[in-house]
């Protein structure tokens, strides 16, 4: 198990580093196989003016361009300043009896809708785990956030959440945060956003103590379509307490969706949490691998 935990940590370290690197620039893939990092300045009927990170301003003929951020150059994209509505609902359950009696249930749902310059999101998560008929250990949280796109790709994010986590001895918690973010790209094929700001957290623990802290936060959300409509996704959030920089927490999800029928997917997801100052009696690291059903609309 120790080897598995080390492998998981190394895996996520690579994911975080790759996410950090890819978030610095857009990517233009040419028909000859070259990939140029930078930012598109202007698109004309025949050419793209591209500010390359390494070569400065380039004028590139459209016929030489294979993809922009993994999608065709003129592929329709999700326009930030438009009205859209979509969501996901996933469910995982397991039951065993005999020598070991175990029940595991996991429900995740999120809805996102855009209205003009504003993007709203809400999410719900509920987990229940019990072993040999013991009292189920439950984890749940509810969250709501709103992003205001004050520029084409830049947004101001505000969110709040409430919940509990028996496994980490948290009887109740709530958080309120504000951050500045950038939507680097967003199309049907791929999407990447990142944000940084401040998050206030208040926790009531099961031992009747409480903990409140202001943290610096950094989060990223990435997804990409693979062949045959499969989708890989990765989300993470890093929190560092401002009053004690050694007090940090990292939450990360990485997963794969495989289509079954229209809008219905099989979802394989690895969830990982690391808290370097966990409540007394709990471990620093938690990880969970789930296989379930996901419905998207």
pLDDT of residue 71: 77
Is the pLDDT reported for residue 10 higher than 60? no
Q: What is the DSSP string of 69-108?
A: TTB-TT--B--SSS-EEEEEEEEEEEEE-SSS-EEEEEEE
**Reduced to 3 states, what is the DSSP secondary structure of residue 9?**
helix
pLDDT digits (tens, 9 = 90+) for 224-250: 988 767 899 999 999 999 998 889 999
Strands of the 35-43 sheet, one edge to the other: 56-61, 47-52, 35-43, 26-30, 65-68
9 lies in some domain? yes
Query: What are 152-186's pLDDT values in tens digits?
Result: 889 999 999 999 999 888 999 999 999 999 999 88
Residues 50 and 93 in one domain: no
- Indicate if 231 and 93 belong to the same structural domain: yes
Instruction: Tell me 279's DSSP state.
Output: P
Shared domain for 149 and 50, answered yes or no, is: no
User: Do 149 and 33 belong to one domain?
Assistant: no
Number of structural domains (the chain) is 2
Is 79 contained in some domain? no
Residue whose structure tokens are 């598109």: 40
| 128, 34: one domain | no
Whether the predicted pLDDT of 76 surpasses 60: no
Per the domain annotation, does 220 fall within a domain? yes
Residue 36 lies in a domain: yes
Specify whether 62 is located in the same domain as 132. Answer: no
Note whether residue 74 is domain-resident. no
Judgement on whether residues 151 and 208 belong to the same structural domain of the protein: yes
Whether residue 77 lies inside any domain: the answer is: no
Q: Max alpha carbon distance in the chain (Å)?
A: 69
Among 68, 98, 114, the domain-final residue is 68
Can you name the residues that pair with 240 across neighbouring β-strands?
A: 216, 248
Tens of pLDDT, residue by residue over 20-59, are: 444 445 788 899 988 888 888 878 878 888 888 888 888 8
The DSSP string of 117-172 is TEEEEEEEEEEEEEETTPPPEEEEEEEEEEEEESSSSEEEEEEEEEEEETTTTEEE
Any bridge partners for residue 149, and if so which? 155
Q: Domain containing 13: what range?
A: 2-68
CATH number at residue 100: 2.40.128.130
Give yes or no for a contact between 56 and 92, defined as CB atoms under 8 angstroms apart.
no
User: CATH no. for residue 17?
Assistant: 2.30.30
Q: Cβ-count burial of 241 within 10 angstroms (0-12 exposed, 13-18 middle, 19+ buried)?
A: middle
Based on the domain organization, do 286 and 145 belong to the same domain? yes
195 and 94 inside one domain: yes
Check residue 25 and report its DSSP letter: S
Instruction: Assess whether 171 and 37 both reside in one domain.
Output: no
Q: Which residue has the higher pLDDT, 15 or 63?
A: 63
Within this chain, do residues 212 and 287 fall inside the same structural domain, yes or no? yes
Clarify whether residues 28 and 140 are in a common domain.
no
Q: pLDDT confidence of 216, banded at 50, 70, 90?
A: very high
Q: Is residue 75 part of a domain?
A: no
Q: Is 73 within the bounds of a domain? A: no
For residues 260-267, give the mean pLDDT: 88
**What's the rounded Cα separation, in Å, for the pair 51 and 46?**
17
Distance CA 280, CA 4 (A): 24
């Amino acid at each position: 198990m120790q080897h598995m935990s080390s492998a998981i940590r190394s895996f996520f370290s690579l994911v975080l580093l790759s996410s950090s690197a890819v978030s610095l620039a857009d990517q233009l893939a040419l028909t000859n196989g070259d990939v140029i990092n930078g930012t598109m300045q202007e698109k004309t009927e025949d050419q793209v003016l591209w500010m390359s990170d390494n070569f400065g301003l380039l004028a590139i003929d459209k016929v030489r361009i294979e993809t922009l951020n993994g999608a065709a150059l003129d592929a329709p994209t999700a326009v930030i300043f438009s009205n859209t509505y979509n969501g996901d609902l996933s469910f995982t359950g397991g039951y065993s009896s005999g020598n070991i009696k175990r029940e595991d249930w996991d429900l995740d749902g999120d809805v996102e809708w855009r209205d003009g310059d504003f993007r709203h999101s809400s999410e719900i998560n509920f987990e229940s785990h019990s072993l040999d008929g013991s009292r189920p250990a439950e984890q749940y949280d509810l969250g709501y956030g709103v992003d205001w796109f004050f520029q084409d790709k830049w947004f101001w994010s505000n969110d709040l959440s409430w919940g509990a986590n028996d496994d980490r001895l948290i009887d109740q918690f709530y958080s309120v945060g504000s951050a500045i973010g950038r939507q680097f790209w967003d199309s049907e094929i791929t999407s990447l956003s990142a944000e940084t700001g401040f998050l206030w957290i208040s926790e009531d623990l099961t031992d009747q103590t409480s903990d409140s802290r202001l943290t610096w936060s950094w989060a990223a959300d990435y997804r990409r379509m693979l062949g045959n409509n499969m989708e890989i996704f990765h989300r993470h959030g890093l929190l560092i307490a401002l009053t004690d920089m050694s007090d940090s927490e990292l939450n990360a999800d990485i997963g794969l969706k495989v289509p079954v029928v229209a809008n219905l997917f099989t979802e394989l997801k690895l969830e990982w949490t690391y808290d370097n100052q966990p409540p007394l009696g709990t471990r620093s690291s938690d990880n969970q691998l789930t296989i379930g059903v996901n419905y998207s609309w």
